[in-house]
Amino acid sequence: MVLRSEILVNKNVLPTKEQALPGRETPMALPENHFVFKDTPLLGPFFDDVEFAIFGLGCFWGAERRFWQREGVVSTVVGYAGGFTPNPTYEEVCSGLTGHAEVVLVVFDKAKVSYQDLLNMFWELHNPTQGMRQGNDIGTQYRSVVYATTPEQLDAANKSKAVYQAELNKAGLGEISTEIEQAPTVYFAEAYHQQYLAKNPEGYCGIGGTGVCMPPSLAGN
């Protein structure tokens, strides 16, 4: 029997379910309200006309800040998704032995911002061709992902991928490696990660796109 401590971890390769850390049943304790939106409950209840989107585009600190700055976004929560380990810690995710990506759960008012607008932000804010990394951040946790919460989102995400790939091709860039799937369970990250860059304005932000934009016909308002 090979112990997990004996596994030589390649952080560019997702672990198998058998290799993954066991995790725990207890979820992370979170603050009641959003740090930026103050009186807004972090996880609801929300009014009826909101929808949920889940994106992973590298380190979740900078990604979350860009989404909470978008008009129409009601709340944002960072967490871990797409792996095997239940309720992982940040250190466990960083080990490469949970399989999770760092993600942002975005709660948005559909009357003020569309899912297509958020997809446009997603593609333009990072480099979706880099595989298991984002810039200098290397490892499976930094991979590009879109986890759809509805069948309509899944269809829209796949269509937008094809559109953005065509724009990348024009710029001589590579193939999109983004994982697009129906949403798995999102395990929320530790309280100190939530709205981190609002609490630490000079903190690390790894957000950086390719400079390639979506076509003007799909540009958000």
Q: Which residues are catalytic?
A: 59
Angular region, 178: left φ>0, alpha ψ -120 to 50, beta rest? beta
Q: Determine the Cα–Cα distance for residues 203 and 55; give it in Å rounded to an integer.
A: 21
Q: What share of the chain is helix, strand, coil (3-state, %, to 5)?
A: 30, 20, 50
Question: How many Cα atoms sit within 13 Å of 94 on the Cβ side?
Answer: 7
Q: Determine the Cα–Cα distance for residues 63 and 137; give it in Å rounded to an integer.
A: 13
Q: How many CB atoms lie within 10 A of CB 84?
A: 20
CB 150 within 8 Å of CB 115: no
